[in-house]
Amino acid sequence: MIDVVKFFDENIKNSMGCTDPAAIALAVSAAFNAIKGRLPMDYATKKLELLPGKIREEIENIKVKTDRGIFKNALQAGITRTNGLKGTNNAAALGVFCDPSKSLELFDDLSEEKVLEAACLIQEGKVEVIPDYEWDERRIEAKVTTRNSTGIAYIDKEQSNIACIEVDGKPKFDKPKTKDEAEKLESLHQLDDFIEIIEEGLSREANGKNAKKKIEEAIRTNHKASLIAEREFSELERKSVGFGIKNLMKEGYLGGDYIGLAEEKVSLATEGRMAGLGVRVMTCARSGNMGLVVTLPLIAVALAEFKKKYPEYDISWDSAIEVIPERTPENWTKLIRAVGLAYLIANYVDVYSGKLSALCGCGTKAGVGVAAGTAYYLTSADNKDRVEIMGQAINNMAGSIVGMLCDGAKRGCALKAAAATRAAIESGLLAYTGFGLSGSSGITHQDAMITLQHLGAISKEMEHANRKIIEFLQAIPP
C-alpha cells in the first residue's frame, strides 16, 4: 500500500525557477562545498563564507555530465536572479557561488557580483556541460577541480537527490538507496485504488493531516506563483502568453470562462519561472511546470463551482484559496483530494514512461491527472458511475493532445501548459456531461488504467526524437 505521507513528501518539492538548471548548479555546489569540508550532513550547521572573487581564483575547471532530459531542459531555460541568463554553462558556473543547503532554491540568493564572477569562469573556458545519452534515468555528475583538490558529486533519480560525493578519489558521502514511493504505484490495478488512497489515506488522523497539509501547501504556493508572475510581468512591462490570453478574452476572441482563466494563470506562472522571474513553485514528478498544471486548473474548476452555488459571495481568482476553505470547508477538502488524485495519476504515467521522454509532461502526465481530477471534483461521491466518468476523462485527454513534444524548458512552455490546461478541463467536463472515448482505439483502451500505461510506453519509445531535439537546441547560439 502507498504511504501517502511519504509519497507526497517525495513528490511535492519546492523549486525556485526552472528545476533542471537548479539541479546542475546543486551538483556543482555540492562538489565544491565538499572540497571545502562541507558535506550534506553539515549543511544545517556549517556555512561556507568565501568571497565570490576568491572562489573564482581557486577554480581550475568545472565539468558536468547530465542525462539527456536534464540537458535538454536546461539549455534554454532562464535562471532566476540573473537578469535573463539561461543555459547549462551558466547554471554550472553559478553553482560554485551557491549554497547547496537551499536545494533547488539555491539561485534565490544570487547577487550581481556572483553572476559576474560566474560569467568570468565561462569566458575563461573553465566550464563544460555535456549530455550522456546512455543514462536512462535522471542523473548528473559534477566534477569541480580547484588548485589543490577535485570534488565529484552525483545527483540521481530526482533533481534534488545528492546521492554520493567524492573528494580526491575518496568517498565522502553515500546516501542509502531507497525505493521511491511512486514506484509502488505500479501495483495499482484500477482507478478505484487511486480514489481509495486519496479518500482513506487523507482521512486517517495521523497520516492524513500531514499529507493534506503537503497538498494544501502545493495549492497555496502555486496559486501565489501565478500572482507573483502576473505582478512581475506587469512591473517589468514585459509581454507574456498569459497577458496575451487575458487580452484575447477581454476583446472577445476567446471566451472569458473559467477555462480561459485557468489558461491565463497557468501560462503566467509557467512563463514566469521559465523566464527567470522570482517565482517559487511546488513540483509534481520532479517538474515545476507539471506542479503548476496539476494544481491551478483545479483551483479554477473549484472557483467556478463555488460561484455557481454561492453567487452572493464576492470571490475572484486572487481570493479563491481564502474564501473557499473559509466559507465551504467541504469544497476545500474536495479540491485537496482532486489535486492529490491528479498527482497520483501524473506520477503513475511517469513510472511507466521511464522518466526521460521527448513528450511534454504537462500534457502526457499532469494534464491527464487534471482531466481525472476535474471529473472527480464535479462528480458526487454517491454517483455509482464516478469511476467510469473518471476513466472517460482520462481517455478523452489521451485522445487529445498528449503527443505534444517537449523541446526543452523555455518561455514557450507556457503555450504547452495552457493547451494542456484547456484540453484537460474540457476532457473532464465532456466525461462529466456524458461523452467519453470509452472504447479501445489507438492509445486509448476501454480500461483507463491500460490507457495510462500506454501513455508511459509511448513516452519511453521517443529516444530518437529526443536526440534530434537536443541536436536542434545545441545549434541555437547561446
> What's the CATH number of domain 181-474, 1.25.10, 1.10.4100, 3.10.20, 1.20.1270?
1.10.4100
Average of per-residue pLDDT across 359-381: 95
**Predicted structure pTM score:** 0.93
Interval 278-294: pLDDT, tens: 899 999 998 999 999 99
What is the CATH number assigned to the segment(s) 17-174?
Answer: 3.30.1330
Phi then psi dihedrals of residue 44, to 5 deg:
-75, -20
Residue 30's pLDDT band, with cuts at 50, 70 and 90, is very high
Interval 69-125: pLDDT, tens: 999 999 989 999 998 899 999 999 999 999 999 999 999 989 999 999 999 999 999
Mean pLDDT of all residues in the chain? 92
Residue 442: pLDDT above 90?
no
Is 317 within 8 Å of 265 (Cβ atoms)? yes
Residue 310: pLDDT above 80?
yes
Give dist(CA 15, CA 111) in Å, integer.
18
Residue 399's pLDDT band, with cuts at 50, 70 and 90, is very high
C-alpha cell at 425: 478541463
Query: What is the predicted pLDDT for the residue at 356?
Result: 66
- CB neighbours of 218 closer than 8 A, spacing ≥ 6? 12, 282, 284, 291, 295, 339
Q: What percent of the chain has pLDDT over 90?
A: 72
Give dist(CA 456, CA 478) in Å, integer.
33
Residue 391: pLDDT above 80?
yes
Nearest 10 degrees: Cα torsion 211, 214, 220, 221: -160
Query: What is the predicted pLDDT for the residue at 355?
Result: 63
Interval 142-174: pLDDT, tens: 999 999 999 999 999 889 999 999 999 999 999
Residue ranges of domains in the chain? 17-174, 181-474
Q: Which residue has the higher pLDDT, 179 or 301?
A: 301
- Asked which of 15-24, 195-204, 369-378, 407-416 is least confident by mean pLDDT, the reply is 195-204
Query: What is the predicted pLDDT for the residue at 29?
Result: 98
**How many residues appear in the chain?**
478
C-alpha cell at 255: 471566451
Average of per-residue pLDDT across 218-246: 91
Residue 438: pLDDT above 70?
no
Average of per-residue pLDDT across 231-257: 88
Average of per-residue pLDDT across 312-329: 93
